[in-house]
Amino acid sequence: MTDLLFNLIYVLLFPGLLFCVVMGVLLAGLDRIWVARMQRRVGPPLLQGWYDFLKCCGKETIIPRHGKKAIYYGAPLLGFVALITISLFLPVVNGQAAFSGTADLVVILYLLTLVSVCMIVGASATGSPFAGVGLSREMVAMISYELPFVLVILTVSKAVLAAGDGASYTFSLQAIADYQAANGPLITHWALIPAAIAMLFVIPCEVGMHPFDVSEAETEICEGTLAEYSGPPLALYRLTHMVKMFIMTALFCVLFLGGISTGFVVLDTLILIVFCLVLTFLTMSLPHAVCARFKTEQVFQFYWTVVAGLAAVSLILVWLGF
Amino acid sequence: MLPYLTKALTNLVKKPVTEKFPAGDPPKAAEGYRGRIQYDPEKCINCGMCMRVCAPQCMHRDIEKLENGDQKITFTFDLTSCTFCSMCADFCARHAITLSDDYMIVGTQPEDFLVTGTFVKKAPPPKPKFTPEQIAAMKAKAEAAKAAKAAAGGAAPKPKLTPEEIAERKAKAEAAKAAKAAAAQQGEA
Amino acid sequence: MMVTNYIGCFVLIVLGLYCMVVKHNLIKIMMGMGLVDYGVNLLLVTVGFHYGGTAPIFNIAELTRASFFVDPIPQALTLTSVVIGACTTAMSLALGIKLKEQYGTLDTRKIRRLNG
Amino acid sequence: MFDKLIDNSMAKSPWIFHINAGSCNGCDIELVSVLTPRYDAERLGFRLTGTPRQADIVVVSGPITLQARDRLVRTLAQVPEPRVVVSLGSCPRSGNVFKGSYAIDGPLDKYTHVDVSVGGCTPKPEAIVAALAQAAEILREKRKEMHK
Amino acid sequence: MSAFINNFPVLAVMTLFVGGFLNSLVGRRHAVLQKIVVLVAVTGALAMMLALVKPVLVDGEIITYWLGNWEPVEGWAIGIALEVDALSLFFGLIVVVAVFVSGVYSFTYMSRDDSLVNYYTLFMMLGGSVLGLVLSGDLFNIFVMVEIMTFTAVALTAFRSHYEGALEGAMKYLVVGSLGSTFLLVGIAILYSQLHTLNLAQIAALLPEQSDNPLAGVAFAFLFIGFASKAFLFPFQPLAADAHAVAPASISLMISGVLTKCGVYGIIRLCYILYQNMDLAVVQYLVTGFGAVTMFICVTMAFQQHNFKRLLAFHSISQVGYVITAVGLGSALGVSAGLYHAMNHTIFKGLLFLTAGAVQHQTGSLDLDGLGGLSKKMPSTTALFLIGAASISGLPPFNGFASKWMIYQATFQKGVETNNFFFIIVCVLALLTSVLTLASFIKVTQSVFFGQLPEKYKDVKEVPLLMRVPMWILAVLCIVTGLFPTQVQNWLLLPATNAVFSAASYIDAAMGEGYAALHNIVSSGVTSLGVSTCWSPLSWLALLFCVTCAVTIVALLGGPDNKEDSHVSTADENAEELDPKYEPFFSGEESVYSQVGGSDLFWGFKHSWRKYFTFWTNWHSGVVNDYTLYGVVVTAFVLLACIIVL
């Protein structure tokens, strides 16, 4: 009974639904404020993301004639749930995940993919030609960041395994957290720094932040994937977008900045939040303020050459035992 | 990329340049801004020039005949039709129309965009009647004046200015110019 | 003696493969397939052949450890293989006729609607 | 409780969709300048969207030309409720200098109820900001009426 | 009873063959009787294979059946044997399930074709031959079954000979396929010349002693290429593409789900039981390399396709590449991952082919550029396709994810254990292939099921129930095998993997106790896979349910109050049809038919890789001589490698 209660708390409050949403809104709001400040604007209020979400909830939903209703409603929900689920598997606090041992890095990689796929299929189900172009671009963006992401995952796993006692879990997040708790954050390992940089590049593309938001170009292809979305499903997509910012930064913390623990949950959470804020600023706000939107093939070429190259260098270094 | 980056980072610590506007009073418009039309019916003489020069035909004139023969004239300026070109103001002989610097032309009803003014144009007084003798007298008077003019014809040439006088006038003009420049300099300082 | 056989079947197979790779006429390709088949059949028979062996026909009483006979199994295999080869040829010829009807040619360079 | 929250957020996050119905681009440029650092409409929650489906406020500029008329009507129909229509500049309300042209089929009132209008040719960005703020309030009122 | 059960393998094979025979006797006159015969035969085979589950998979017995009771004498197996160990039964189960589903599907799907007698006869022969192949304990029998399989498959490919390219595809399949069969026979001949036996168990016992014999290596190369050509591995993949694209969908299911499995089964049998040389690094490189190259090239080729089934065909081969990659690792985890993926591949690929068939059946077209918006007309098929697509792309919680997860684990673990970078590259390739697979299924989803409905498909209807039932069976299997990976591992994969690694007991079962020990064959078998699944979909699903509830509650509390509005507006279909509100936003333009699909997608990616794509498109030239050449060249390469190294 208490187990069930705890599980419910994990799922609904911390680190599940509520915490994710709060963090997502916080990060999204701060990101927008920072971008505004870098352009010498005032920027929206901190809770703007929350207002957007609520507003969209209150709007009418129009399903276009060629749309498929079940998928129109179901895809955003499934994507959001998949995203929330990731948070339960991340050993963010105290090096412990809410549900440790039930998922590893590959599962998280695929759940992230699932989130994007839900968006793509949802867009596809609207039948809009703009959504068609948007989902095509989203998919190319996904192919782009997947290669460096995979290389980073392999690098980290290998680095942990090389030092560890040959644990049978090869992609285990728990092993990574434990290793960092014992040996300090992985980012202090110099051979992993290129991989960390590559991961920093992966974050904005995975989230779909500005210079890499090829799939949602507002004026170019009319919001692309979201062209036909309105009302609560759109609200869920916006929320998913915000929560993804938190999940991706937290994933970076788990992979490269883990092992910093004070033993108190509250303090650890605060440290995590600080890390997430810094990462959000570095990976999302700065490029947003500085870069113009990439072209689709530029994204692809950039990720498969520069970013994947960085990750590959790291992988080879780790492989050679540095 | 790098210059943008440094600029962005330095901007982060600077104060935003955003106006406070919706919170406070609207800022003053620039000098010479052509905003909401102001119409002074007291000055208007109903010459109709403004209506002739208005490209989008934004004025509307209602003429209502009163019982005593007076005309009640209502000018309506539809600001949603106006291009704020200021032609009407320029052509208004009596300066009855001016364009103010009020740019806050926002409203939900059509009435919010109308500028109206009404004045009553008095009917002209009835014409005096002259007797034939009076007319004859007037005619004679006019003819006498004509004859006098013919007699004095060409006797009054324009007075020529002496060179001294010309020099004096030139000096005067230059002094005025210098004074003006000095005033301008002072103003700038 | 046996070496000749092996060389023969090698040559047959290589010739058949050459035919299949180089010739663009479907009939010639079928002939190549036949050649390869014959080569393999020859190989099978040769594998089972023992120089100086007798035919493998014995009573159970006659059969001793010293009986020296040709291995009968490859012959059975060859028989099967020949049948299969005949099937292949029949099948490909049937397809060839139909193809000729549909495409109007037997040139493989022109029978390439399915590509890319 | 949620209804109240939503009503309040309505006014705090109105998204704008801009329709150019044959405008000379003067108003369009001024609308974009509303988002620039000096006027920064984003601090009020405004955001320019690319599709009518996500819009709360539809900003129409330009006299309704014959070419633009059908597109305008169709796009307006595609905006989900509650929505607010703002006419930008003199043209949509009257046709301005193009009034009476054979190529114009205005004014905007013929096709939809115009909630807020901004006069001016072109309006000053401050006026647009004020109009949009007013539109946001109307949006909140409309939403309140919807669930009554 | 148990004695009787020993007859089941041969009975199962015979049921199908006899069914085919009976069918050609009675089917010409009685259409209903024909269907009954087919149904009884496939159900009978299915039931018999299921009856074998208990003794073989659970109790771990190995059932040996000597035809004509010709048991081995003095250690020489002359008779023809059927030997069913867990591996055989595993593949046998896959085969009978696929045959059953395909048969039931055919009833409606083929109803518009004539000369159905030929179809069903060939179909049953195909099923019987494949079942015979996987259950056989005799090498030459395997060859014969391969030949029957190839012929029936070729004939069935050409069955709808009026279709564009049906004959052409069959012709290419026949020419290059017979090349593969010939290599197989050459391999058998060489092997026989060295060992003088054809019984698999005896070969397995004798071969390791011949490890210095170069001819054994040559035979290995030929046999490997022979089986690889049946699995359509790298140089042979154009055949599969051609055959799939033109064959009826039920036959595509058989080709992808059953025929390729024969190749996979052959390679596993060859490498693990006969030669037992999987611990050699070079064999691992060879098999894994073939698999990796196949999976990557095929998945990229799928990007270039405009035909629904041709695209599926390339994916099919790509997934077989996954299987071979995993199998080639030589570790227990790798083999079980490969087997798992082989099973899943049959299920999801069958499902996808059947949905393609449904689309073809209802619209008469498979052109990705011409279809669109079918989700409105065929909702059930769309749901089924989405399940299949999610499975093949490895999205949780479907079965493709579970098996791919194991493949990644296995490759990475292998790389770490041997400290070999090759396997890491393979792992990266596998992960990358997965996302590319996803991409091209997005393309299909978008261009066939979503988007706008072309005018000419306005009256398309959902497929009949009899066609939906087989698809739903496969879809449920997709979900079930994905949701219970632990149970699948324990009940199916572990016994099969154990069988793969216990050559000794395989030999002993056929040749008598102690025969393996006589030839110094010791095998330990596998008792656990070393990796308990980190992935537990059930707990994940519970979470998903919780969060869904929470989100729904939140959404309902603050939800839209305009539900009635939308209800009203959808109630009147006609009004919606005319209301511009429900038109897709097209920048205000009147909505014209504007389907983004087929070749228009993934521009940035395709553009960056245009040279690669052009090369491979030209490579798949469609000229049968080229395909033969590729086959010969690769054979020569493998031959050289084997001669030099083995």
Q: Higher model confidence: residue B159 or residue D57?
A: D57
- Burial class of residue C51 (count of CB atoms within 10 Å of its CB; 0-12, 13-18, 19+): exposed
What is the distance in angstroms between the Cα of B16 and the nearest Cα belonging to chain A? 4
Q: How far apart are CA E477 and CA E496, in angstroms?
A: 19
- Per-residue confidence (pLDDT) for residue E566, from 0 to 100: 44
Residues of E in contact with C103 (CB under 8 A): 168
β-pairing, D84-88 with D57-61?
parallel
Give me the residues paired with residue D84 across strands. D57
Q: How far apart are CA D127 and CA B154, in angstroms?
A: 66
What is the distance in angstroms between the Cα of E576 and the nearest Cα belonging to chain D? 12
Cβ pair A55:D40 closer than 8 A: no
CA Rg value for chain D: 15
DSSP H/E element including D118? strand D116-118
Going from N- to C-terminal start, the domains of chain D cover 2-146
Contact in structure between E580 and D77 (CB atoms under 8 Å):
yes
Choose the weakest-confidence range: A144-148, C73-77, D3-7, E558-562: E558-562
Convert the pLDDT of each residue in E523-541 to its tens digit: 776 776 666 555 666 666 6
β-pairing, D57-61 with D15-20?
parallel
What is the distance in angstroms between the Cα of C102 and the nearest Cα belonging to chain E? 9
Residue E569 pLDDT > 50? no
Residues of D in contact with B55 (CB under 8 A): 97
Hey, how many other C-beta atoms are within 10 angstroms of the C-beta on E556? 11
Three-class HEC string of chain A: CHHHHHHHHHHHCCCCHHHHHHHHHHHHHHHHHHHHHHCCCCCCCCCHHHHHHHHHHCCCCCCCCCCCHHHHHHHHHHHHHHHHHHHHHCCCECCECCCCCCCCHHHHHHHHHHHHHHHHHHHHHHCCHHHHHHHHHHHHHHHHHHHHHHHHHHHHHHHHHHHCCCCCCCCCHHHHHHHHHHHCCHHHCHHHHHHHHHHHHHHHHHHCCHHHCHHHCHHHHCCHHHCCCCCHHHHHHHHHHHHHHHHHHHHHHHHHCCCCCCCCHHHHHHHHHHHHHHHHHHHHHHHHHHCCCCCHHHHHHHHHHHHHHHHHHHHHHHHCCC
Residue A169 pLDDT > 80? no
Convert the pLDDT of each residue in A250-295 to its tens digit: 888 888 887 677 777 777 788 888 888 888 888 888 888 888 888 8
Contacts of E182 (CB under 8 A, 6+ apart): C36, C37, C40
Write the single-letter amino acid at E306. Answer: H
Contacts of B156 (CB under 8 A, 6+ apart): none
Q: How far apart are CA E412 and CA E419, in angstroms?
A: 10
Q: How far apart are CA A173 and CA A176, in angstroms?
A: 5
Contact in structure between A208 and D33 (CB atoms under 8 Å):
no
Contact in structure between A120 and A207 (CB atoms under 8 Å):
no
Convert the pLDDT of each residue in E326-349 to its tens digit: 888 888 888 888 888 998 899 998
Q: How far apart are CA D13 and CA C51, in angstroms?
A: 97
Contacts of E96 (CB under 8 A, 6+ apart): E12, E42, E45, E46, E49, E127, E131
Convert the pLDDT of each residue in D14-41 to its tens digit: 888 888 888 888 888 888 888 888 888 8
Cβ pair C111:E168 closer than 8 A: yes
Q: Provide the 3-class DSSP secondary structure of residue E66.
A: strand
**Minimal CA–CA distance to E264: which of E339, E186, E336, E376?**
E339
CA distances from E354 to A11, D16, E120, E249, E634 (A): 39, 46, 17, 6, 33
What is the distance in angstroms between the Cα of D102 and the nearest Cα belonging to chain B? 15
Mean pLDDT, range E243-260, rounded to an integer? 85
Mean pLDDT, range E292-296, rounded to an integer? 89
- Per-residue confidence (pLDDT) for residue E576, from 0 to 100: 54
**Do chains E and A meet with 3 or more Cβ pairs nearer than 8 Å?**
yes
Residue E572 pLDDT > 70? no
In which residue ranges of chain D is pLDDT below 70? Answer: 1, 148
Convert the pLDDT of each residue in E138-193 to its tens digit: 888 889 899 888 888 888 888 888 877 888 888 888 888 888 888 989 888 888 88
DSSP H/E element including E496? helix E494-500
Residue A138 pLDDT > 70? yes
Choose the weakest-confidence range: A27-31, B135-139, C112-116, E220-224: C112-116
Q: How far apart are CA E268 and CA E134, in angstroms?
A: 11
Q: How far apart are CA B48 and CA B60, in angstroms?
A: 10
Band of the pLDDT at E589, cuts 50, 70, 90?
low
Cα dihedral angle (D118, D119, D121, D127), rounded to 10 degrees?
-50
Band of the pLDDT at E591, cuts 50, 70, 90?
low
CB pairs under 8 A between D and E: 36
Band of the pLDDT at E1, cuts 50, 70, 90?
very low
- Per-residue confidence (pLDDT) for residue A143, from 0 to 100: 86
- Per-residue confidence (pLDDT) for residue E252, from 0 to 100: 87
Contact in structure between E51 and E5 (CB atoms under 8 Å):
yes
Contacts of C99 (CB under 8 A, 6+ apart): C26, C106, C111, E167, E168, E171
What is the distance in angstroms between the Cα of C99 and the nearest Cα belonging to chain E? 6
- Per-residue confidence (pLDDT) for residue E593, from 0 to 100: 65
Q: Provide the 3-class DSSP secondary structure of residue D89.
A: coil
Mean pLDDT, range C70-83, rounded to an integer? 85
- Per-residue confidence (pLDDT) for residue A93, from 0 to 100: 66
Cβ pair A88:E543 closer than 8 A: yes
Q: Is D65 on the interface with E (CB under 8 A)?
A: no
Residues of D in contact with E585 (CB under 8 A): 51-53, 75, 78
Q: Is D51 on the interface with E (CB under 8 A)?
A: yes
Number of domains in chain A: 1
Cα atoms in the Cβ-side hemisphere of radius 13 Å centred on E98: 38
Structure tokens at B151: 């007699």
Residue A236 pLDDT > 50? yes
CA distances from A131 to A112, D38, D43, E367, E458 (A): 20, 34, 29, 21, 22
CA distances from E83 to B6, C1, E56 (A): 75, 39, 11
Residue E565 pLDDT > 60? no
Cβ pair A132:E409 closer than 8 A: no
**Minimal CA–CA distance to A90: which of A110, A104, A78?**
A104
- Per-residue confidence (pLDDT) for residue A40, from 0 to 100: 84
Q: What is the CATH number of domain D2-146?
A: 3.40.50.12280
Give rounded-to-5 percent helix, strand, coil for chain C: 65, 5, 30
Residues of A in contact with E587 (CB under 8 A): 222
**Minimal CA–CA distance to E92: which of E39, E156, E13?**
E13
- Per-residue confidence (pLDDT) for residue D107, from 0 to 100: 81
β-pairing, D57-61 with D116-118?
unpaired
Choose the weakest-confidence range: A208-217, D55-64, E19-28, E234-243: A208-217
pTM: 0.85
Q: What is the mean pLDDT of chain B?
A: 80
Residue numbers of the domain that contains A227: 2-319
- Per-residue confidence (pLDDT) for residue B105, from 0 to 100: 81
**Minimal CA–CA distance to A60: which of E460, D147, E500, C109?**
D147
Q: Is the peptide bond before D107 cis (omega within 30 degrees of 0)?
A: yes
Contacts of E256 (CB under 8 A, 6+ apart): E240, E244, E312, E313, E316, E345, E346, E349, E350, E353
The residue of chain D nearest to residue E590, with distances taken between CA atoms, is: D71
Residues shown for chain A: 322
- Per-residue confidence (pLDDT) for residue E533, from 0 to 100: 57
Q: How far apart are CA E144 and CA E129, in angstroms?
A: 8
- Per-residue confidence (pLDDT) for residue B16, from 0 to 100: 79
Give me the residues paired with residue B37 across strands. B99
Band of the pLDDT at A94, cuts 50, 70, 90?
low
Structure tokens at E320: 């077989």
Band of the pLDDT at A1, cuts 50, 70, 90?
low
Domains and CATH numbers, chain C: 10-48+69-116 (1.10.287.3510)
Greatest Cα pair distance, chain D, in angstroms, is 52
- Per-residue confidence (pLDDT) for residue A102, from 0 to 100: 62
**Minimal CA–CA distance to E601: which of E454, E449, E373, E442?**
E442
Residues of A in contact with E546 (CB under 8 A): 8, 11-12
Q: What is the mean pLDDT of chain E?
A: 82
Cβ pair B16:A42 closer than 8 A: yes
As separate numbers, helices (DSSP H) first and strands (DSSP E) second, chain D gives 5, 5
Q: Is E252 on the interface with A (CB under 8 A)?
A: no
- Per-residue confidence (pLDDT) for residue C4, from 0 to 100: 85
Band of the pLDDT at E570, cuts 50, 70, 90?
very low
Cα atoms in the Cβ-side hemisphere of radius 13 Å centred on E344: 40
What is the distance in angstroms between the Cα of B55 and the nearest Cα belonging to chain D? 6
Q: What burial letters (b/e) apply to A150-162, b meaning 16+ CB within 10 Å?
A: bbbbbbbbbbbbe
Q: Provide the 3-class DSSP secondary structure of residue B72.
A: strand
Q: How far apart are CA E452 and CA E376, in angstroms?
A: 9
Residues shown for chain E: 646
Mind giving me the DSSP string for E33-55? Answer: HHHHHHHHHHHHHHHHHHHTIII
Please tell me which of the candidates A61, A66, A168 has its beta carbon nearest to residue E530. A168
Band of the pLDDT at A22, cuts 50, 70, 90?
confident
Q: How far apart are CA E439 and CA A146, in angstroms?
A: 12
Mean pLDDT, range B42-70, rounded to an integer? 81
Sheet holding B71-78: strands in order across? B59-65, B71-78, B114-121
Residues of D in contact with E580 (CB under 8 A): 73-74, 77-78
Convert the pLDDT of each residue in E429-477 to its tens digit: 888 888 888 888 888 888 888 877 777 877 778 888 888 888 888 888 8
The residue of chain C nearest to residue E245, with distances taken between CA atoms, is: C114
Residues of C in contact with E302 (CB under 8 A): none
Convert the pLDDT of each residue in A174-196 to its tens digit: 777 777 777 777 777 788 888 88
Contact in structure between A24 and A16 (CB atoms under 8 Å):
no
- Per-residue confidence (pLDDT) for residue E592, from 0 to 100: 65
Interface of D with B (CB under 8 A): 37-40, 43-44, 90, 93-97, 99-100, 115-121, 123-124, 126-127, 129-131, 133-134, 138
Cα dihedral angle (A277, A282, A284, A289), rounded to 10 degrees?
120
Interface of B with D (CB under 8 A): 16-19, 21-22, 26-27, 29, 33, 35, 55-58, 78-84, 103-108, 110, 112-113
Q: Provide the 3-class DSSP secondary structure of residue E460.
A: coil
Convert the pLDDT of each residue in E82-114 to its tens digit: 888 888 888 988 888 888 888 888 888 887 777
Contact in structure between D132 and D47 (CB atoms under 8 Å):
no
